[in-house]
Amino acid sequence: MGISLTANTGAEYFGTVGVAMVTPFDRDGALDVNAGRKLAAHLVSNGIDALVLAGTTGESPTTTLDEKVALIKAVREEIGDSAKIIAGAGTNSTATSIAAAQASAEAGADSLLVVTPYYSKPTQEGLVQHYTAVASATDLPICLYDIPGRSGIPVESDTIRRIAELPTVKAMKDAKGNMFEAAPLIQETGLAWYSGDDPLNVPWLALGATGFISVVGHAAPALLRELRTSFEEGDLARTREINANTMQVLAVQQALLGGATFAKAALRLQGIEVGDPRLPVVPADDAQMEVLRRDMKKAGVL
């Protein structure tokens, strides 16, 4: 017997097994649209049903709005309706976030990922007003993104409850990891919940999460899909095996290198060239590549 997930899954807007896709660059550091097409097709053909474009791993702070829009259009043309495109539209400026949301909607995104405004450290009331303004700018479904390690502040439980009342807010990507607080929120708010931290993917499923928005999924898309399927089907032994032997091994490397650096290096080792990150993010050095190669072999993805 399978394990039932939450009734309001949100999969129709955000998929179930997502990857926060890197933004490919060429040797000169310019956007490589063709590489983006190929990577998107590779991930989708291996079981990924949602791609976050222009998220943190997509190097959103160092890519222009024109580059973001160009990648959305190219990936939409490449994959059609075979996977959801979730556009990262959150910044620390409400006006800039609105502009990104509207441009992403026009480019063909299915939904939006809107991170907590970073650096500015707004009050909780400021967060409510920010999300209200961004949500009012388009008709696209919105996934909140709570990651206090990057934003500097958490979205508090009562604030999540208030923001969840906005009609287009449909989901939460949780990289805060406070499961004690999140468990009742999943039930109370009706928001679809997505793991935003690969080491916690299985615990989040156990609490009723719909799925994941993953970084390590770049290196192991088919196994990431199998992990969720195994959980759904009640095969916890296989779920734990994939989690321990592949996902946790890769997650250690992702934590050491950082998301964009890890993902681009891992893809390079698999023969998928997407260029180096843009400064201030740096590529993996030779020693780091060798350790990554070893761990990817250990994880069964190389």
pLDDT for 284 equals: 98
- For 161, the enclosing helix (H) or strand (E) is helix 157-164
Buried b (16+ CB within 10 A) or exposed e, 36-50: bbbbbeebbebbbbb
Residue 119 among the catalytic residues: no
The answer to whether the pTM exceeds 0.85 is yes
Q: What is the mean pLDDT of the chain?
A: 96
CA triple 70-77-212, angle to 5 deg? 85
Does residue 1 surpass a pLDDT of 60?
A: no
User: Per-residue pLDDT for 140 more than 80?
Assistant: yes
Of 74, 42, 20, the closest CA to residue 270 belongs to 42
Residue 9: the pLDDT is 80
Q: Which of 170, 173, 176, 264 is catalytic?
A: 173
Query: What is residue 50's predicted lDDT score, i.e. its pLDDT?
Result: 98
Distances (CA, A) of 216 to 35, 95, 133, 135, 190: 19, 32, 33, 29, 27
Q: Is the pLDDT of residue 158 over 80?
A: yes
pLDDT, residue 2, reads: 46
pLDDT of residue 6: 41
131 is catalytic: no
The better pLDDT of the pair 7, 16 is held by 16
Distance CA 134, CA 128 (A): 10
- Using the predicted structure, report yes or no on whether residue 224 has a pLDDT greater than 80: yes
SS3 215: coil
- 3-state secondary structure at position 147: coil
Does an H or E element contain 142, and which? strand 142-146
Q: What percent of the chain has pLDDT over 90?
A: 97
* 94 close to 133: Cβ distance less than 8 angstroms: yes
- Over residues 94-116, the mean pLDDT reads 98
Q: What is the mean pLDDT of residues 75-95?
A: 98
Active-site position among 13, 118, 131, 145: 145
Running DSSP on this structure, what letter comes out for residue 218?
Answer: G
Helix count (H) and strand count (E) of the chain? 14, 8
